[in-house]
Structure 1
Amino acid sequence: MSFRFSARSRRALAGVHPDLVAVAGAALALSPVDFMVTEGLRSPARQAALVKAGASRTLNSRHLTGHAVDVAAVIDGQVRWDWPLYPRIAAAFKQAARERGVKIVWGGDWPRLRDGPHFELDRKVYPA
């Protein structure tokens, strides 16, 4: 595919660990589904607000250290949250990570509270 990150996605990647930025860029080139990066590095205040709103369940998010990104599928210029799109994006992330020797975790693989838009660097290899 020939997808490219928008200026918004590039801004959202500011402060994110370079290995995850590289994986996200490579994943975009591999993905059959266009996507944008909606969030990368978060402030503690932003994380607290997300917890208060019920959009997150932890104050110890990998977003706080630049070790996580959230993406949104984009179909015909519109953000889409349909679950079947996210495993396709995840496959591209996993392939890009494998090719670069970067260990990542996809929130869609979590046994509880699956989070399809979430990708993070593996804590075992990339401690905060």
Structure 2
Amino acid sequence: MKPNRQDLLVTRSAHELPAPYPADHERNLRRVKRRSRRNTILLLLFTLGLILYWNELPIPDLLEPEASVRDIPPVTGLHPIVAAKQNELIRLTEEAGITILITDGFRSKEEQDALYRQGRSDEGPVVTHAQGGESYHNYGLAIDFALRTDDGDVIWDLSYDGNGNGESDWMEVVSIAKDLGFTWGGDWASFRDYPHLQMDFGYSIRELKKGKRPPSGQDTSSP
């Protein structure tokens, strides 16, 4: 007996209907969506962490509790090793026929803030991008220098050759300073600070702001 036309239509419609999703498939979809949201959140947190790190902003340190800055004696002068190396720099450059003047050493946070305002809210050119507490000067770990000519003038001329040996006096001073363990601000990739010499002992500004300090007798090659 042949099926009638109505039976054929019913059979065909039943085959063309999509099969319902099994329950485990729906669970898998929900799991994938949750994982995707979690990965997105982790990526955003990682990106935010990088931004905070490169901008030297405080990040809660769960593994290492932050020291109480109130318990740390305030820095009031150059670190003893930096002071000794400064005097040695003056002596060695004098032996090379170059007279230098130390124009800045330890700088209080208030003095740093005043310099930061220059070229911004106050008149004058911009001379620093560091606010109070963000410069190695504020921790006694940096000095600035200039050259003094035979006439007694104080200059910041990188091409001046006062000892007549065919080399820049400025760069001779920088070379001697590097041999003593200083790093030079003129080597920085941005905002090169040519008079700046620092000896940070491997400590970052972030660590110094937390209250960490290099030991007074520490060798400059040790972090």
Query: What TM-score comes out, normalization by structure 1 length?
Result: 0.76
Distance 1:113 1:83 in 2: 16
Root-mean-square deviation (CA, aligned residues, Å) is: 1.9
Please point out which of 159, 163, 176 is paired with 1:92. Answer: 176
1:121 alignment counterpart: 199
Distance 1:106 1:120 in 2: 7
1:29 alignment counterpart: 91
Q: CA deviation at 1:122?
A: 2.7
**Unmatched runs of 5 consecutive residues or more in structure 2:** 1-75, 119-125, 160-168, 209-223
Query: What TM-score comes out, normalization by structure 2 length?
Result: 0.45
How many residues of Structure 1 are paired with residues of Structure 2 in the alignment? 109
Structure with more contact order per residue of length (Cα contacts < 8 Å, sep ≥ 6)? 1
Q: CA deviation at 1:82?
A: 0.6
Residue 75 (structure 2) pairs with residue 19 (structure 1): no
- Note if contact 1:28-1:92 (Cα within 8 Å) is conserved in structure 2: no
Distance 1:94 1:35 in 2: 15
Please point out which of 31, 42, 61 is paired with 2:135. Answer: 61
* Cα distance per residue 1:79-101 (max 9 Å; x no partner): 01111332111112122x1xxxx
Letter in 1 for 2:157: D
Distance 2:200 2:140 in 1: 12
Aligned identity (percent) is 31
1:9 alignment counterpart: none
Q: Of the two, which has the highest radius of gyration?
A: 2
User: Which structure carries more strand by proportion?
Assistant: 1
> 4+ residue stretches of structure 1 with deviation over 6 A?
none
Distance 1:41 1:73 in 2: 19
2:217 alignment counterpart: none
Letter in 1 for 2:84: A
**Unmatched runs of 5 consecutive residues or more in structure 1:** 1-13, 98-102
